[in-house]
C-alpha cells in the first residue's frame, strides 16, 4: 500500500472485492448460470449478469438472473471515520424464481451472498454487518431483493509527503 491514500478508494475497492467474493461462491454462480459452472469461467458473468453498478435490463429476450452492487458513503461520523453502505441487488425473471429443490432463487442467492460477506474484515475496519434485506421489483416480470450492509472505514488518512503549511509554526 502506498503512503498516500486517496479518499473514496472504497468505492472502487469494495466493488471489486464484492464481485470476487460473490463469484467465488459456486452456489451463487450456479444459480446465475449453470453453463459457467461447467465451463469454470464465472468471470464471464461480469457485465453480463453481475454488475459493479446499479443496472436494470431494458428488455430481455429470455429470463435471466442478475446481481448488481453499489457503494455509497452513508455517514461521515467525524474526521476519523465514515460509514460506507454496500448495496447488492439480486433479481430474476418470474419464470426462474422457483427452485427445483424448493425455495426461491433470489432468496437462496441472497442467503449465499450474506454467508460469504457478512462479518468479513475485507471491507473497512472491523466486520461488515448486514443492515437490511428488502424486496424490490425493478421491471415488469422481475422480482428481487436488495441487501444493505454497513462497514466502518477511515475518513482521512495522513500522507507523510504532505508538508506543513508555510503559515504554521514549526517546532
pLDDT in tens, 98-157: 999 899 999 999 999 999 999 999 888 889 999 999 999 988 889 999 999 998 877 765
What integer pLDDT is reported at residue 63 of this predicted model? 84
Question: Is the pLDDT reported for residue 2 higher than 50?
Answer: no
Q: In order of start, what are the domains of the chain with their CATH numbers?
A: 9-154 (3.30.2000)
Question: Is the pLDDT reported for residue 74 higher than 90?
Answer: no
What integer pLDDT is reported at residue 70 of this predicted model? 92
50-51 and 65-76: which strand pairing?
A: parallel
Question: Is the pLDDT reported for residue 1 higher than 90?
Answer: no
Q: Which residues contact 146 (CB under 8 A, 6 or more apart)?
A: 87, 88, 89, 90, 132, 133, 134, 135, 136
Beta-bridge mates of residue 104: 98
Q: Whole-model pTM?
A: 0.82
What integer pLDDT is reported at residue 99 of this predicted model? 92
Mean pLDDT, the chain, integer = 82
pLDDT: which is higher, 51 or 34: 51
Amino acid at each position: 500500500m502506498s503512503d498516500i491514500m486517496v479518499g473514496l478508494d472504497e468505492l472502487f475497492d469494495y466493488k471489486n472485492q464484492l464481485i470476487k467474493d460473490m463469484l467465488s461462491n459456486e452456489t451463487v454462480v450456479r444459480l446465475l448460470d449453470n453453463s459457467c459452472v461447467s465451463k469454470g469461467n464465472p468471470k464471464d458473468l461480469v457485465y453480463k449478469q453481475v454488475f459493479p453498478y446499479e443496472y436494470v435490463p431494458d428488455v430481455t429476450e429470455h429470463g435471466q438472473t442478475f446481481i448488481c452492487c453499489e457503494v455509497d458513503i452513508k455517514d461521515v461520523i467525524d474526521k476519523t471515520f465514515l460509514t460506507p453502505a454496500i448495496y447488492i441487488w439480486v433479481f430474476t425473471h418470474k419464470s426462474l424464481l422457483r427452485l427445483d429443490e424448493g425455495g426461491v432463487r433470489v432468496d437462496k442467492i441472497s442467503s449465499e451472498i450474506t454467508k460469504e460477506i457478512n462479518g468479513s474484515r475485507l471491507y473497512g475496519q472491523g466486520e461488515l454487518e448486514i443492515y437490511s434485506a428488502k424486496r424490490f421489483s425493478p421491471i415488469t416480470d422481475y422480482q428481487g431483493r436488495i441487501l444493505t450492509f454497513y462497514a466502518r472505514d477511515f475518513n482521512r488518512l495522513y500522507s507523510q509527503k504532505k508538508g506543513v503549511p508555510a503559515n504554521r509554526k514549526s517546532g
